[in-house]
A and B are shown apart, each in its own frame.
Chain A
Amino acid sequence: MSKSRRTTAVAAIAGAAAFALLAAGCSSSATPGADDEVTELTLATFNDFGYTDEMLAEYTELTGIKIVHNKAATSGDARTNYFTKLGAGSGLADVEAVEIDWFAELLQYSDKLYDLSNDEVADRWVQWKTDAATDADGRLIAYGTDIGPQAICYRSDLFAEAGLPTDREEVAAMIDGDWDTYFAAGDEFVANSDAAWFDSSGAILQGILNQEEETLESTDGEIIATTNPVVEDAYNTVLDASPELSAQLSQWSDDWSAGFANGAFATMLCPSWMLGVIEGNAPEVEGWDVANVFPNGGGNWGGSYLTVPAQSEKAEAAKAFADWLTDPEQQLKAFVSTGNFPSQTSLYEAEELLTVTRPFFNEAPTGEIFSDRSAAIEVAPYKSVNYFPVMDALQNAITRVDVDKTQDADASWDQFVTDVEAIG
């Protein structure tokens, strides 16, 4: 055998041996060791949590710990990053942000997350937010950051053209009630206008289902989406209203973004973080406003948490840091800088929050509005590991009928049932 041939063979054997070793001891979670002398902590967020460099420098002054802040652009990127490194067993930051959409999936591996239970802060957040972050063994494994209480955003100029009231309070009175009231107002609108009433049937579906406790999954973790009458009712309600009232757009698509500028729809379900989206998509449109109303009172859409992965070797220090970050004082600063609505209940009385207005939306008192809508949230739906895939299949079913128009409501539901069977 030539010299280099032998080298190659040796390398191959070494590689295989290492590989076998690795496979044998795969993905073990590191036990958090004692943190004596923590000088640095890493924080990973996505989008914009409002944790500015100044704020983090404050923490360094307080404790002497330097904070290294790593950002991902989107929630999706952050999720891929989180799961890759959780699977690899290392590489995650000491404090990692998680979005509610994929939090449920993470929850089933709560043993890989550090226990953040702390009686002192237990009442800090709205109850449903804390409940969602508690695992089956009763450990609190995440601290809430922001939430997405919904109101109704509307185009007062389109309303005026259709002969509907334009003043915020009057609009609220008109829509106040349940979903039927909302759709009835829509019928009146479209009779006098070329535009549609709402942007996307998928959004309405979310709005309706987010107000029920047991929707796609039962609290035992079974998938009940295909048999639960709540789900089928919501599906049919939405699709009955769509032909007349929907702009037939798919949220976040290019057509949807263009729809803002082209006056395709007059209202939309508006969580607090949607305001920036509306403003960015159509800055020349002048008629947007926010009404302090929501069918059935209120609902939540979105929101995030901070977790401490068990792989971190500085878990105790990280827990203290996460505590500090989600303290009402810091969260208020974050709200002021980004508009992400806080989940800390004590802030709902805060002067700084209640007096915030938004110029683009006709100086609407958004602090007050979203505070009221948040108080109106009674129920958070039970979401477990299969929630997101099933919801995705349901949304696809709606899209097929409303946007793509490739199937009718019955055929699309049948396909939804088949798709759900493939899950889990």
Chain B
Amino acid sequence: MTTQSLAEDREIRRITLGHKLNRWDMKVSPYLYISPFFVLFILTGLFPLLYTAYVSVFDWHIIGGQGEFAGAGNFEWVLGQDKFWVALRNSFSIFLISAIPQVILALIIAAILDQNLRAKTFWRMGVLVPYVVAPVAVALIFSNMFGDQYGLVNNALGRIGIDPVGWHSQVVPSHFAIATMVNFRWTGYNALIFLAAMQAVPRDYYEAAMLDGANRIRQFFSITIPSLRPTLIFVIITSTIGGLQIFDEPRMYDTTGAGGASSQWLTITMYIYNLGFGPAGGGQFGRAAAAAWLLFLIIVVVGLINLAATRTIATSGSRSSK
């Protein structure tokens, strides 16, 4: 062979080797990148999940330990409890009263923060302050404010001639008060999530729209919302999951953590927790685990519905396709 073809041979071999390494790199890297997450997750996230699933099919008391195999018995028991359905009703009610205004408000706040404000850092961090205040302090403030006899709110209502509202004794007012607590804590958080996504929308879109004569509102609905679609989906899904699992706020709405004498504000996660750990009739680990998995199913169903709804809303009215 000539020197040239020898060199060519070497060249070809080098390219092939490099090419092979490259292909191997491409195939393996994704798994390498997600594996740290999954390895840690298996120990600290998956194991508790599997344990809960295992417990749910047994008669299991937290101290007494594993009892007889109960199959679907725990699930049947939970579904037959009035309290379960009342808790479900409460969770949905609080979820709807809180999530809908929260998302809308977060979008509006984000849209304003997106603009060229003075003292940007102040405004942007300012809306996150509620998230920083410890839940115990938030609960103290709000349950105090919404006290039935001596609370600030009823005080103020009395001054303008409205009868005191039973914020703790009635069902819907208690949901409203708790939803206020939840919104207070999470609106700024969601606003910043939207803001991060809004800031990544290329400005040319807005310029083009402006030249076409669209006003701000039109631009918002035609450009911002569709561009936010993945983020909207993210917020709706996390709000659904979080909203149906609301625990801290209703639990601290009064000092007993029982959700009210007629379970006015007992959410489903409170119900599960009280079943498993609660002072009054608790320790029923097997039943609590069953209820937890029922909640899981419900969240998945509702999540899928919300996903479909968001996709429709976010794509309608979109002029530019990404």
Decide if A and B are genuine partners. yes
Residues of A bordering B, CB below 8 Å = 2-5, 7-8, 11-12, 15-16, 19, 23, 26-27, 76, 79-80, 83-84, 86-87, 101-102, 105-106, 109, 112, 248-250, 252-255, 258-259, 262, 264, 386, 388-389, 392-393, 395-397, 399-400, 403-407, 415, 418, 422-423
Alpha-carbon distance between A106 and B283 when the two chains are bound, in angstroms: 11
- Chain A residues near B46 (CB, 8 Å)? 15
- Chain B residues near A389 (CB, 8 Å)? 280-281
Within residues 59 to 94 of chain B, which ones have a CB less than 8 A from any CB in chain A? Answer: 62-66, 81-83
Closest to A6 in B: B31
Q: Is the CB of B285 within 8 A of A406?
A: no
* Interface flag for B22 (CB, 8 Å): no
Given pairs A11-B38, A27-B65, A101-B279, 18 additional interface contacts (CB within 8 A) = A2-B31, A4-B31, A15-B46, A79-B279, A80-B277, A86-B63, A87-B62, A87-B63, A87-B65, A106-B63, A109-B64, A252-B256, A253-B254, A254-B147, A259-B150, A392-B258, A396-B261, A406-B170
* Interface flag for B255 (CB, 8 Å): yes
Known: A4-B28, A254-B143. Is A19-B47 also a contact (CB below 8 A)?
A: yes
Alpha-carbon distance between A83 and B274 when the two chains are bound, in angstroms: 13
* Interface flag for B262 (CB, 8 Å): yes
Alpha-carbon distance between A315 and B281 when the two chains are bound, in angstroms: 30
Alpha-carbon distance between A418 and B82 when the two chains are bound, in angstroms: 10
Q: Is the CB of A87 within 8 A of B147?
A: no
* Interface flag for B309 (CB, 8 Å): no
Set B42, B66, B169, B277: member contacting A404, Cβ < 8 A: B169
Q: Is the CB of A76 within 8 A of B39?
A: no
Q: Is the CB of A11 within 8 A of B277?
A: no
Closest to A80 in B: B277
- Chain B residues near A11 (CB, 8 Å)? 38-39, 42
Q: B43, B65, B147: which has the most chain A beta carbons within 10 Å?
A: B65
Q: 5 tightest CB-CB pairs across the interface, nearest first?
A: A389-B281, A404-B169, A392-B280, A399-B261, A258-B150
Interface string of B141-184 (1 = CB under 8 A from A): 00110011111000000000000001011100000000000000
Q: Is the CB of A249 within 8 A of B149?
A: yes
Nearest CB on B from A142, distance (A): 16
Q: What are 30 pairs between A and B in contact, CB < 8 Å?
A: A2-B27, A8-B31, A12-B42, A15-B42, A15-B47, A19-B51, A23-B66, A76-B279, A83-B282, A86-B63, A87-B63, A102-B279, A109-B64, A248-B149, A252-B255, A254-B143, A254-B144, A254-B151, A254-B254, A255-B151, A258-B150, A388-B281, A389-B280, A396-B258, A396-B262, A403-B148, A404-B170, A404-B260, A406-B262, A422-B81
Q: A12, A86, A254: which has the most chain B beta carbons within 10 Å?
A: A254
Residues of B bordering A, CB below 8 Å = 27-28, 31-32, 35, 38-39, 42-43, 46-47, 50-51, 54, 62-66, 81-83, 143-144, 147-151, 166, 168-170, 254-258, 260-262, 264, 277, 279-283, 285
Known: A87-B285, A396-B262, A403-B261. Is A255-B150 also a contact (CB below 8 A)?
A: yes
Known: A101-B279, A400-B261. Is A5-B147 also a contact (CB below 8 A)?
A: no
Main secondary structure of the interface of A (DSSP, over half): helix
Nearest CB on A from B165, distance (A): 13
- Chain B residues near A396 (CB, 8 Å)? 258, 261-262
Nearest CB on B from A390, distance (A): 9
- Chain B residues near A395 (CB, 8 Å)? 261
Closest to B258 in A: A392
Alpha-carbon distance between A264 and B170 when the two chains are bound, in angstroms: 22
Nearest CB on A from B283, distance (A): 6
- Chain B residues near A83 (CB, 8 Å)? 62-63, 277, 282-283
- Chain B residues near A259 (CB, 8 Å)? 149-150
- Chain B residues near A27 (CB, 8 Å)? 63, 65-66
Alpha-carbon distance between A262 and B63 when the two chains are bound, in angstroms: 44
Closest to A393 in B: B280
Nearest CB on A from B262, distance (A): 6
Q: Is the CB of A262 within 8 A of B150?
A: yes
Alpha-carbon distance between A268 and B111 when the two chains are bound, in angstroms: 55
Known: A23-B66, A87-B285. Is A3-B28 also a contact (CB below 8 A)?
A: yes
- Chain A residues near B51 (CB, 8 Å)? 19, 23
Q: Is the CB of B54 within 8 A of A23?
A: yes
Alpha-carbon distance between A399 and B147 when the two chains are bound, in angstroms: 15
Nearest CB on B from A112, distance (A): 7
Q: B42, B262, B277, B281: which has the most chain A beta carbons within 10 Å?
A: B281
- Chain B residues near A258 (CB, 8 Å)? 147, 149-150
Known: A252-B255, A389-B280. Is A4-B42 also a contact (CB below 8 A)?
A: no
Nearest CB on A from B294, distance (A): 17
Nearest CB on A from B193, distance (A): 30
- Chain A residues near B254 (CB, 8 Å)? 250, 253-254
Alpha-carbon distance between A392 and B280 when the two chains are bound, in angstroms: 7
Q: Is the CB of A15 within 8 A of B43?
A: yes
Alpha-carbon distance between A407 and B260 when the two chains are bound, in angstroms: 14
Alpha-carbon distance between A422 and B282 when the two chains are bound, in angstroms: 12
Q: Is the CB of A255 within 8 A of B261?
A: no
Alpha-carbon distance between A99 and B271 when the two chains are bound, in angstroms: 23
Nearest CB on B from A1, distance (A): 9
Nearest CB on A from B67, distance (A): 11
Q: Is the CB of A26 within 8 A of B149?
A: no
Alpha-carbon distance between A2 and B28 when the two chains are bound, in angstroms: 6
- Chain A residues near B42 (CB, 8 Å)? 8, 11-12, 15
